[in-house]
Chain A
Amino acid sequence: MKRVAIPDIPRWFFKPLPNRPWVAYLGEGGNKLLHLDSGLVLPVPGPRDPVPTPDGRFISVPGISLFATADLMVDAHRATVPALEARLHGEYQSPGILSETPERVVYRFIADDSGPVVRDFALTLHDDAPARIEALGVKRRLCRGMHLQLPMIAPGGRELGAYDVDGGTTRILRINDDDTCEVLTDLGIATGKLSFSFDGRYVAFHLAHREKFSIKASQVPADRYAHNVFVVDRETARIARVTHNTASNAYYPAFRADGTLVYLFKPYDESGGRFNFVVADPAQISTWVPLAWVVGKCRSGDESCAETLALGSLRAHVCSRNGPKTSPATAALYTLSLRPESCRFLVRGHWRQHRESVSATLRFVPGSQGLASVDPEALARRCPVGLGLSTP
């Protein structure tokens, strides 16, 4: 895990270059590139939303204008003229690559223009240098019949993630050849914008939750708003926590080509801390639970689900002073934050005192009927075997 201070006040929107240690972001005065090793900052043309293509060849800005990344590195001040214009009106542009050969790359851009729109472009290469770009047809509307916001395309160009306004949840959709969309996965919760890993197996996003939090005995506990980063493994339908903030915030994780991701970290206000970009490796995470548990879908008779949620609820009872009000979903997220040794300490030291209240809190969860009679040692065996990545 690596933490890099941002030398100014960033806007929340940023994207890492897929295959180099740079992050494109909007800071004071315009778009910029920040080198994650040296801290060097280079200017990037455009007023907002600098988004690299999945091959790292270009940085796009809304419109869509494409600036050659190599030109920006050589002489950013001269690279004010776009290398290519892709022409797609809308906000929140995101690029994918449909096909790639040494001579030709077919990009697919989507944007939000009163709903998702799409346009494909073919880039011709001569000696690996961009020669010309041509539109493959006109702008088309995507996912007709659906009310989607914040569409973000996968690097492969054939899937997107978006918030479904009517359902109130974030969904992963396949883009069919006729531009209709098919829901592949309903995450069952509302999330921040999705980012797809380059192999398509994982999606990352941030979630919001609040805690009764007090660090002084004399202080009246106040609700703190925290945002944390999560990763879902689409193959196993499991979710893991990447950050463990209880007051600070981690936003907008975005994958790089090597499977690592970059998120924006802002320490809570009273700390006076600086904004940071953090590089994390989800492959290091050892604690995953079924996504269904987090969205409150334990199966009847599945005691392991109820007991896992009980661990998080117990943590809330002991630590946050908000235990009886903690939802099963939040309890599941808390469980993902427990260190193995702390979890066992928590169960052995506090389960007997709080088990009636925890059981009452989770009384509507299938499989929770016998929770209050579970022996501490039996419950301790449900503790995580490892922790997600710790907040720097």
Chain B
Amino acid sequence: MSAHAIRCLTLGSAILLLAAAGIDGLFDARADEISPATFDDADLTEAISAGSATGTPRGIVYVWSPHMPYSVHGLQDVLDLGQRLELPVIALLDPDADWQLAARVAEVAGLPGHALRAMRSNRLFDLGVTLHYPTLLVFGAGRLGDAVLPGHASPAVGEAFVRAQLMGR
């Protein structure tokens, strides 16, 4: 254990160190063998700039969770919206989701495989996309929109939000 860690232990991080050392009874032993692919800031930058290169510098980001049923149902609406508006949809998984549940829910709901990438973008996180699922936002002109839409929205509300964001509101 580093001196750095010891200092922090005195500041209340003891539970984390105990858990890491396997000392506790605080947590049950369980290790998942599989884990989801991730989508980080580099992926986000690439997605936005790739869109610019192909002449469609716009798209929708939709963060969903298998722990929030409306976010599962809403994904198909957003995929339809993307198709109608000719916008790519980047569907991302709640980073704290139970991965096995996510895989099971995605299979039952017929979600596309790319929707199982876990959201690990700090830029998106800082916009509050993990406060509630689903959360939808838009990118255009090489940058992220300045507003997010948390919570289930009807197709009409979702479309109005996307159009308003694309128009720079």
Contacts and interface: CB of A to CB of B under 8 A. Distances in A.
A192 B7 contact: no
A225 B70 contact: no
Interface string A165-195: 1101000000000000000000000111100
A391 interface: yes
B154 A149 contact: no
B29 A193 contact: no
Interface stretch (B46-54, B77-85, B108-116, B142-150): B142-150
A15 interface: no
A9 B69 CA distance: 13
Contacts, number: 137
A225 B94 CA distance: 11
Interface stretch (A136-144, A290-298, A337-345, A366-374): A337-345
A272 B101 contact: no
A163 interface: yes
Contacts of B147: 165-166, 168
A115 B154 CA distance: 9
Nearest to A166: B147
A273 B67 CA distance: 17
Interface in A83-142: 91-92, 112-115
A319 interface: yes
Contact of A267 (B4, B10, B19, B154): B19
Residue among A91, A213, A321 having the largest count of chain B Cβ atoms under 10 Å: A91
A206 B131 CA distance: 8
A53 interface: no
Contacts of B19: 267-268, 271, 273
B11 A338 contact: yes
Nearest to A275: B98
A356 B80 CA distance: 53
Nearest to B20: A215
Interface residues of B, number: 53
Given A165-B147, A168-B147, A193-B132, A112 B30 contact: no
B67 A112 contact: no
Contacts of B28: 272-274
Contacts of A269: 32, 96
Given A217-B4, A273-B28, A337-B12, A12 B133 contact: yes
Given A92-B151, A215-B20, A319 B11 contact: yes
Interface in B31-66: 31-32, 65-66
B131 A191 contact: yes
A76 interface: no
A169 to B, nearest CB: 10
A13 interface: yes
Contacts of B68: 11-13
A199 interface: no
B5 A215 contact: yes
A73 to B, nearest CB: 25
Residue among A47, A272, A338 having the largest count of chain B Cβ atoms under 10 Å: A272
Interface of B: 1-2, 4-5, 7-8, 10-13, 15-17, 19-20, 26-32, 65-70, 95-96, 98, 101, 120, 122, 125-126, 128, 130-133, 146-154, 156-157, 161
Given A12-B67, A225-B96, A342-B12, 18 more contacts: A9-B101, A11-B67, A11-B69, A13-B68, A165-B147, A168-B146, A168-B148, A217-B4, A223-B122, A249-B96, A268-B19, A269-B96, A271-B26, A272-B28, A272-B31, A274-B28, A315-B11, A318-B8
19 contacts: A9-B67, A12-B68, A13-B68, A47-B69, A92-B151, A114-B153, A149-B151, A165-B147, A168-B147, A190-B150, A215-B20, A223-B120, A227-B96, A246-B13, A268-B16, A273-B27, A319-B13, A337-B12, A338-B12
CB-based closest 7 A-B pairs? A273-B27, A272-B30, A217-B2, A319-B8, A149-B151, A271-B27, A190-B128
